[in-house]
Amino acid sequence: MEHHQAPRRKTGPKPVFTLDEAVDAAIAQGIDRFTLTGVAKSLGVAAPSLYRVINSRDDLLMHCFLRVTGDLDLPDPESSWQDQLRAYTVTVWEMCGAYPGIAHSLLTFPGSHFAIQDYLDDLTEGLLRGGFPGGDDDMHFIVDMVGDNVLVASMVTQSLRDGDGFELAKQRLGSVRSEDRQHFPIREDLWDYNWLQRKTEFVIRGMELQLRG
């Protein structure tokens, strides 16, 4: 019996672009919304050519994660663990501001924290040097909570600042209640970085009390 080998997927001609250029194009489109067709178009090639440097859209997204998180600054390991967590809040917030859509992608892509494993090695070592009094579970809990708070806050803020977000939110709340009777009224000072800082301080204080008790 004659066996026929399944045809290989056509990948197009050899690329005239690099993986880094494909990552650049994806980030420029928006990490949470880029398409392979759009990336290929911006590179001036056919979409199948991308498979010379990536395996799938998820593969390209993972390379985007590595690029973006590679810019994260580490807190000063000589500072207190509390100050290091405050600095961690700042650097993740700034990353989200520099790369719109990254917060949504990190929160919804299973295992996205693969990209910061080395960073977490250094961060947790710094927290220990800074006098963090808890165990590994406590440390991972607070790093995760602070990080999630930043990502969610960034998503909310971005949705309000995109286009007419603030005005639309005000109109929707105003359609059911006057501002003086609203829970969480839509005001810039209520949804900015200062609001996030309060959450970080609350988490730090809660961990201090738990570990002290």
In a shared domain, residues 32 and 98? no
Report pLDDT for 18. 97
Residues 197 and 94 in one domain: yes
Same domain, 123 and 147: yes
Q: What is the pLDDT along the chain (213 residues), one digit of tens a residue?
A: 445 555 555 555 565 899 999 999 999 999 999 999 999 999 999 999 999 999 999 999 999 999 999 989 999 999 999 999 999 999 999 999 999 999 999 999 999 999 999 999 999 999 999 999 999 999 999 999 999 999 999 998 888 888 888 899 889 999 999 989 999 888 776 667 888 999 999 999 999 999 986
Domain count, the chain: 2
The domain containing residue 149 runs over which residues?
A: 73-212
The predicted pLDDT at position 162 comes to 82
Q: So what's the pLDDT on residue 190? A: 62
> Nearest to residue 165, comparing CAs of 150, 178, 151, 155?
155
**Is position 14 within any domain?**
no
What per-residue confidence (pLDDT) applies to 56?
A: 98
**pLDDT for position 189:** 67
- Asked if 32 contacts 102 with a C-beta cutoff of 8 angstroms, the reply is yes
Whether residues 141 and 198 fall in one domain: yes
CATH assignment of the domain containing 58: 1.10.10.60
Length of the chain: 213
3-state secondary structure (DSSP) of residue 199: helix
Burial of 213 (0-12, 13-18, 19+ CB in 10 A): exposed
- The verdict on 47 and 132 lying in the same domain is no
Q: What is the pTM of this model?
A: 0.87
The residue type of 143 is: V
Mark whether 47 and 121 lie in a shared domain: no
Alpha-carbon gap, residue 63 to 27, rounded angstroms:
10
CATH of the domain at 133: 1.10.357.10
**3-state DSSP percent of the chain in helix, strand and coil, to 5:** 65, 0, 35
Q: Name, in order, each residue with C-beta under 8 angstroms of 203's C-beta and a sequence gap of 6 or more.
A: 85, 142, 145, 146, 149
